[in-house]
Amino acid sequence: MGLVEKDKKYIWHPFTQMKTAEAPIPIVKGEGTLLIDDKGNTYIDAISSWWVNLHGHSHPYIAEKVYAQMQTLEHVVFAGFTHNPAVELCEKLSKHLPSNQAKFFFSGDGSSAVEIALKMAVQYWKNKGENKTRFVALDGAYHGETFGAMSTGARSIFSAPFSDLLFECTHIPFPKDEQAAIQSLKTEIDKGGIAAFIFEPLVQGAAGMRMYKAETLNKLMQICNEAGVICIADEVMTGFGRTGTTFAVNQIEAKPDLICLSKGLSGGTLPLSLTTCTNDIFDAFLGDDLQGAFLHGHSFTGNPIGCTAAIASLDLLEKKECQTAIKDIAKSHEIFAKRINSIEIIKDVRQTGTILAIELKSDSSGYASSVSQKLYQEFLNQGVLLRPLGNVIYILPPYCIKEKELKKVYKAIENQLKNMG
């Protein structure tokens, strides 16, 4: 029995209709931007394997650091104990985060980081003697797959089976319409009882890489700051250079109270996430007994190997070569966007930093779109891994991508667009 047959026997894959799905491709090696299957075929990973591999696959520097840490300390319970990788990571991150971010809470994935932020926001108000349990988010929001995260996301195919179990969240208009978003936010604040405003800064990922201006987000956050509403920045997708700055919130003057980090945090090496917060948030949980403490945790909280991978990834991100690569990718995207903008099938081309999105004219949109499934297979046939979000083709490559590889990705997209047009 081969690997594909064994996979079919045992594995339940994510976001997949297992009855109708094509057989998975067995990947035996990753190297730089390339994924190599069991037949020797190569695929350029133009989406960083769901937006996590900042520096490509099997990076020797990260592997070396992880190997050394595994020989020293692989794991220790994080309640009552600490270790150097966790402390060093937080110290290193604090130089890049907004200056008000003071405390770090570890978990294992983006959904958990969001869930923790939501719980912190609600309990913050409880500890202060106020009952604020409403949340405000943006239209089209996606914040993860746990119940709290789903509750703050837009109602969709992802959350439909659980709709009766989700808590209340008001979704204001997407900030591309600045005045509508501002007015709606003010109206919701006037109603009272809001625990927090949660948002993906500048780019909504799963919604189809929808983008909006930093100036608009700054206005929305200032309104919340003035009204005493907690702001939660979900940087799970946008963090670590994707928008052109280390964090998207670095582009705005207003500062969030809580920030959620994952995906690129460990450079795609190991599951790891963080929820960061201000001293004001943290101080509300201090007391003489457990009653007001934040009683939350995971078995692998603050795992030393994951923290070590994250430190190594940050080391690489801080290098001049990586920062230059981020700028070069953004510039290449800009040139390509102008070249294809007049193709008939294209509805919109948009870009923020290293993220390029091409929205197609189509009656079929959304995650289950037949257009996305067809394009996905066509791109694979050309040796390129792209997973369109409905009728939106997007590129979100590792920073180590070579110019010739990026040109191959562009050519694959351009060929498909012209064939469709």
Q: Kindly tell me if the per-residue pLDDT of 233 is higher than 90.
A: yes
- CATH code for residues 63-317: 3.40.640.10
For 152-174, give one letter per residue: b (16+ CB within 10 A) or e: bbbeeebbeeeeeeeeebbbbbb
Give the model's confidence band at 288: pLDDT under 50 very low, under 70 low, under 90 confident, else very high: very high
Q: In this predicted model, which residue has the larger pLDDT, 198 or 373?
A: 198
pLDDT of residue 200: 98
DSSP element (H, E) containing 261: strand 258-261
pLDDT at 370: 78
Q: CB–CB of 221/254 below 8 Å? A: yes
Residue 133 and residue 148 in contact, taking contact as beta carbons nearer than 8 Å: no
- Return the pLDDT at 158: 87
Give me the percent of the chain exceeding a pLDDT of 90: 95
Residue 83 has pLDDT above 70, yes or no: yes
Q: Which residue has the higher pLDDT, 367 or 18?
A: 18
What order do you get walking across the sheet with 230-234 strand by strand?
A: 103-107, 273-277, 258-261, 230-234, 194-199, 134-138, 169-172
11: tokens are: 């594995």
User: How many Å is the Cα radius of gyration of the chain?
Assistant: 21
Tell me, what's the pLDDT at 96?
A: 98
Neighbours of 303 (CB within 10 A): 26
pLDDT at 419: 86
42-45: strand order across its sheet: 27-31, 34-37, 42-45, 384-385
With a cut of 70, say whether residue 367 has pLDDT above it. Answer: no
Residue 364 clears pLDDT 90, i.e. is over it: no
pTM, full prediction: 0.97
Report the C-alpha gap between 247 and 226 in whole angstroms. 23
Residues 6+ apart with CB under 8 A from 25: 37, 43, 380
Query: H helices within 128-195, ranges in order?
Result: 147-152, 178-191
User: Measured between alpha carbons, how far is 39 from 24 in angstroms, rounded to an integer?
Assistant: 13
Q: What local confidence, expressed as pLDDT, does residue 182 receive? A: 98
Residue 270: predicted pLDDT: 97
**Domain boundaries defined on the chain:** 3-58+323-420, 63-317
Query: Band of the pLDDT at 3, cuts 50, 70, 90?
Result: very high
Two domains, one topology: 3-58+323-420 and 63-317: no
Question: Can you tell me the distance from the alpha carbon of 284 to that of 292, in angstroms, rounded to the nearest whole number?
Answer: 8
| Cβ within 8 Å of residue 354, ≥6 positions away | 241, 242, 243, 244, 326, 329, 330, 333, 396, 397, 399
Q: Which CATH architecture has domain 3-58+323-420?
A: Alpha-Beta Complex (3.90)
Three-state secondary-structure class, residue 4: helix
Q: How confident is the model at residue 421 (pLDDT cuts 50, 70, 90)?
A: low
- Per-residue pLDDT tens over the stretch 131-157: 999 999 999 999 999 999 999 999 988
Structure token digits, residue 50: 């769901």
Token pair, residue 122, equals 């609600």
**What is the token pair recorded at 399?**
């920073």
Mean pLDDT on 86-92: 98
pLDDT at 366: 67
Mean pLDDT of 313-338: 98
Question: In terms of residues, how long is the chain?
Answer: 421
Tell how far CA 260 is from the center of its chain: 9
